[in-house]
Amino acid sequence: MNSFQPRAGRMEEKMKKVLIGLVIVVALIGGGVVLLFSNLDKIVETGIETAGSNTLGTQVDVGSVSLDLVGGSASIFDFSVSNPVGYSNADMVSFDELTVAIDLQNTSSEQVHIRSVVARSPHVLYESEGGTSNMDTVTARLESGETATAEESEAPQVMLIIDSILVENIRGTLVSDKLPTPAEVSLGDVRLSGLQGYPDELAEQIMDPILSQIGAVAAQAMVQAITDQLGAAADQLNEQLEGAGSDLQESLDDVSSKANEALESVGNLFKKD
């Protein structure tokens, strides 16, 4: 009886150690999960900045990311793309907020299925000098294949599937050596659908058509702005010429009147004689 009690005590002590070990492991795993989800917004933010910068060859910044995993939605705030080298220090593209709807049922650790991405009232700066624009510079990089591959990128390598993207009511500022002052224009909407790829690949799939469309519309708007400003200058010049012509006519009429008076005076002198 006495020999059994020490053995039972030793077994109980071992079980306690095992349970304590399990509790520690569970606590570490739980803490890791909490840490992951508490930093998930920052992870996504870093992924967007890294993938975007690698793809465009210019700095991409994100103010913050807000994820609602339960509701399947996300919001990206204060997104901006810097101008490429050789242009002004202003942002080439910027918007205050972008909303994302996620299909949670078809989302896993290997892929994220996004139903929609919507950005409203973004701002685009279109700079042109010597026949080349900032949009042309970035688009040329995309078309040259100089972007980082999915394996080379530090962005999280998760397959992304996006059903639709809507960039609505794009506002633009046109700056050119052919324009005396910047022109504010509307660049319309951009709609994309059926996109799939890793972050860098998807960034290229998205930015290439968006920049191409915005660049084309901005170029047309630039021509129209130049035409409008030249037209306004021509109208102003015509008004000045008309004003000058009116003053000239009044001067001519005055000279003619004085000349007639002088002739009449001379005629009267001859009559008196």
User: Mean of the pLDDT values across residues 91-112?
Assistant: 85
Domain region containing 119: 39-220
Tokens at residue 66, please? 């807000």
Q: What are 229-239's pLDDT values in tens digits?
A: 777 666 676 66
Instruction: Report yes or no on 240 lying in a domain.
Output: no
Q: Report if residue 88 sits inside a domain.
A: yes
Q: Which residues contact 114 (CB under 8 A, 6 or more apart)?
A: 100, 101, 102, 103, 160, 161, 162, 163
Q: Model-level pTM greater than 0.75?
A: no
Q: How confident is the model at residue 8 (pLDDT cuts 50, 70, 90)?
A: low
Tens digits of residue pLDDT in 143-163 = 776 655 444 445 457 788 889
Q: Into how many domains does the chain fold?
A: 1
List pLDDT tens digits, range 177-221: 888 888 888 888 889 999 888 877 777 788 788 878 888 888 888
On whether residue 24 sits in a domain, the answer given is no
